[in-house]
Chain A
Amino acid sequence: MDRVPGNPPDPTLPGPISLARIFAAFLRLGCTAFGGNMPGWLHRDIVVRRGWIDDRVFLADFAMGQAIPGSNGIKLTVQIGQRLHGALGAAAALIGLLTIPFAIAVALGALYAGFGEHRIVHAMLDGVAATAIGLTFATGLHSAVHGSPGPAALAICAATVVAVGVMRWPMLPVVAVLAPVSIILALINGRRR
């Protein structure tokens, strides 16, 4: 077992990223991430736009996070913050992410108390939700192509979509079965190379 003691620096990182930059990036994410699909927004900003971590690391963190309870956006934020700058990075990312949504949620609550509901408002919310799902799909497709190429990986991805998306089986047992299979396939493919 070629286990490396301690936490060696992540070779996929371009260099240390300052706490201020981490806080600023997540503060901005907090204000722009509409539609309740935080992992999609994180992927777009941190992986695609900034290139702070790569697709594979992002996806592994996301999938591993399925074993831990909690909001996926929060878990990924802690994981990414920690990869970028240790414990302080995780704290900076988490506080940055939550500050503005917290303020907006309280403000919206107050507005709601005044306005109640309207048919047009509901239609607009439907439209926002639909486009937000487009972001989810784009993340999934981008990841399926770049995260782990090869026919075996595509088959695993398709099996996951059929099980969870089409058959609507619960996520946890599906991951508990498909993840070990996929890891063993990756191990075999890695040896062959």
Chain B
Amino acid sequence: MREGSENSLFALFIVFAPLSLLSFGGGNAVLADIAQQSIAHNWTSEREFADLFALSRAAPGPGSMLATLIGWRAAGVPGALVATIAFYLPSALLIFGAARVWGRWRGSIWYDAVERGLAPVAAGLFLSGGIVVLRASPAGWPVWAAAIVTTAALLRWPRMHPVPLLLGGGALFGLVAVGT
């Protein structure tokens, strides 16, 4: 699986850099492509890909550190580094340029209207993201219940740090699984 590590480093870059520029709507938009490519290049099996995906959800960090995990699986630490940079840097540079251009209009009527107009759309996207993930979860109603309880707690105590809640959620579900 790890034949010719220079080759796989190059292949990782060639695969992940274009995906960075295709992931409209967030990293999950190209999830299916990442899966296909990493299986086609023999970086992971199907089973391993599913497990690495779950791991990337449990790990801290942006969207998924899935690219990092696949890069690591394909070519060790250099592979992890190449895949991470290839997947994140192109879109970071693009948004940086766009933000600079946008900043020149600060103070205009348009700038103000765009900011006020985009806010409710963004809030709706947040809520939708949560709903979509919950509907896709195989674990059913307990996941909805835990999500709603957490929402209420965070709205009631806005300055509370969410990590204890996450650990509590993980421990609770783990205990239920032990008991059944």
Chain A residues with a Cβ under 8 A of chain B: 1-8, 10, 30-41, 44, 48-49, 55-57, 59-75, 77-79, 82-83, 87, 90, 94, 97-98, 100-102, 104-106, 108-109, 112, 116-117, 119-144, 147-148, 153-154, 156-161, 163-166, 168, 170-172, 175, 178-179, 182-187, 189-190
When distances are taken between beta carbons in the complex, the residues of chain B under 8 Å from A75 are 91-92, 95
Cβ of A159 to closest chain B Cβ, rounded Å: 7
8 contacts between A and B (CB under 8 A): A2-B109, A62-B118, A69-B91, A71-B26, A102-B61, A117-B51, A120-B174, A130-B143
**Cβ of B131 and Cβ of A7 under 8 Å apart?**
no
Known: A33-B61, A125-B57, A147-B120. A137 touches B80 (CB 8 A): no
Q: Is the Cβ of B63 less than 8 Å from the Cβ of A72?
A: yes
Contacts of A5 in B (CB 8 A): 104
Nearest chain-B residue to A136 (Cβ)?
B130
Choose from A72, A122, A187 the contact partner of B54 (Cβ within 8 Å): A122
A69 touches B62 (CB 8 A): no
Closest residue on chain A to residue B77 by CB atoms: A106
- Within the complex, which residue of A49, A108, A143, A156 is in contact with B126, where a contact is CB–CB below 8 Å? A143
Inter-subunit contact B170/A160 (CB<8 Å): no
Do B122 and A128 have beta carbons less than 8 Å apart? Answer: no
Distance from B136 Cβ to chain A, minimum over Cβ atoms (Å) = 10
A127 to chain B, nearest CB (A): 3
A70 to B104, CA, bound (A): 23
Interface bits B152-164 vs A (CB < 8 Å: 1, else 0) = 0111001101110
Interface residues of B (CB under 8 A from A): 20-27, 29, 51-52, 54-65, 68-69, 72-73, 77, 80-81, 84, 87-88, 90-92, 94-96, 98-100, 102-110, 112-134, 137, 139, 142-144, 146-151, 153-155, 158-159, 161-163, 165-174, 176-178
Instruction: Please classify the interface of chain A as helix (H, G, I), strand (E, B), loop, or mixed, using the class held by over half of its residues.
Output: helix
Q: Is the CB of B23 within 8 A of A63?
A: no
Q: Is the CB of A186 within 8 A of B23?
A: no
Give the interface centre of B104, B108, B150, B168 by most chain A CB atoms within 10 Å. Answer: B150
Nearest CB in chain A to that of B167: its residue: A128
Cβ contacts under 8 Å, B126 to chain A: 39-40, 136-137, 139-140, 143
> What residues of chain A lie closer than 8 Å to B100, measured between beta carbons?
7, 82
Point out the residues of chain A lying under 8 angstroms from B115, CB to CB: 56-57, 59-60
User: Apart from A36-B63, A102-B80, A172-B24, what are 5 other A-B pairs with CB-CB below 8 Å?
Assistant: A35-B166, A130-B173, A134-B154, A135-B151, A144-B124
A69 to B: closest C-beta gap in Å: 5
Known: A35-B166, A73-B62. A137 touches B127 (CB 8 A): yes
| From B69, B106, B125, B176, residue with most partner A Cβ within 10 Å | B125
Q: Please name all residues of chain B whose beta carbon is closer than 8 Å to the beta carbon of A130 when the two chains form the complex.
A: 134, 137, 139, 142-144, 146-147, 150, 169, 173
Cβ contact of A82, chosen from B24, B27, B99, B149, cutoff 8 A:
B99
Picked from A10, A57, A90, A144, the residue with its CB within 8 Å of the CB of B123 is A144
Taking CB atoms, residues of chain B closer than 8 Å to A161 are 124, 127-128, 131
B170 and A109 form a contact (CB under 8 A)? no
- CB <8 Å contact, B124 and A134: no
In contact, B57 and A36 (Cβ under 8 angstroms): yes
- B158 touching A48 by the CB < 8 A rule? yes
A42 to B115 alpha-carbon distance, docked (Å): 18
Instruction: Looking at the assembled complex, report how far the CB atom of B60 sits from the nearest CB atom of chain A, in whole angstroms.
Output: 5
